[in-house]
Amino acid sequence: MKKLSLLAVSAIVMTGIALTSCDSKNSGSVKLKSDIDSVSYIIGLSHGVGNRKQIEQQSESWPAKVNLDALFAGFVKGLQNAEDTLFLGKNMQEANEFLNAYFSQAQTKAMEEAKAEADKFFAENGAKSDVITTTSGLQYKVMTEGKGPRPKEDDVVKVHYHGTLLNGEVFDSSVQRGDPVEFPVGNVIPGFKEALQLMPVGSKYTIWIPIELGYYQMQSPYANKVLIFELELLEIVKKP
């Protein structure tokens, strides 16, 4: 969270003056009897709001939904007992080992489940007459075949794309933003890179990217996901 500027603190102080008479209904169990009480409460509240947003973003890649009540209880206890070096009876090393084991086991289980779902999908999708499967496992369907050159790995291209998951969730879309994207072909995930080099300029393909050719083993909420793109290659912007 960004540090509060002097101006922001001044604004908080002014707001705190107005809230001096706040009762426990507005501030939990804490009685706000003076300006510094209100200032303290508002600064604490601002940190809480910022930290909650950060926690929610970070926990998107967790294997299970974060228990915010438990997390906040631990956070408050840590603030109140800074000298307490035990974590549910565990020392720091034991606590870290517990966390690492939990996330490792959960990640393995999630990967196995995602892989089984992906294998089933690709077997069924690859049986369709208009779907082509490459040796890597990438699948694609030609919607429009262009007549231009095919880009190479070190070319810079301009594309439009619309990315979804198997459940239909849109996770990234230059089409929705209304703004084509330029990037070097070699700087994208393996499945995207492979597909681009199959496409003549002017082409539009639907591509299905297996887990291993996507965000596999990356710190991403889509690391264990099959990625589906409608991909349009608009032009080769620059060659080396």
Q: Are residues 42 and 136 in the same domain?
A: no
Beta-strand relationship, 132-133 and 139-144: antiparallel
- Comparing 19-23, 59-63, 127-131, the range with the smallest average pLDDT is 19-23
Q: Which amino acid is at 59?
A: S
Q: Are residues 119 and 225 in the same domain?
A: yes
Q: Which of 56, 80, 104 is the last residue of a domain?
A: 80
Give pLDDT, residue 147.
Answer: 95
Residue 192 falls within a domain, yes or no?
yes
Q: Are residues 157 and 224 in the same domain?
A: yes
Query: Which structural domain, as residue segments, surrounds residue 17?
Result: 6-80
Q: Which of 80, 103, 127 is the last residue of a domain?
A: 80
Q: Are residues 141 and 233 in the same domain?
A: yes
How many folded domains does the chain comprise? 2
Q: What percent of the chain has pLDDT over 70?
A: 87
pLDDT at residue 41 is higher than 60: yes
How far apart are alpha carbons 174 and 220 in whole angstroms? Answer: 19
Q: Which of 80, 97, 122 is the last residue of a domain?
A: 80
CB-count exposure of residue 79 (10 Å: 0-12, 13-18, 19+): exposed
Residue 104 falls within a domain, yes or no?
no
Give pLDDT, residue 28.
Answer: 62
Give pLDDT, residue 15.
Answer: 41
Give pLDDT, residue 2.
Answer: 41
Please, what is the Cα angle at 240 between 212 and 134, to 5 degrees?
30
Give pLDDT, residue 8.
Answer: 45
Q: Which residue carries 């034991």 as its tokens?
A: 94
SS (H, E, C) 90-117: ECHHHHHHHHHHHHHHHHHHHHHHHHHH
Task: Indicate which CATH number applies to the domain containing 214.
Answer: 3.10.50.40
Strand, coil or helix: what is 139?
strand
How far are the Cα atoms of 71, 73, 131 from residue 94, in angstroms, in the given order? 18, 20, 50
Give pLDDT, residue 32.
Answer: 86
Q: How confident is the model at residue 10 (pLDDT cuts 50, 70, 90)?
A: very low
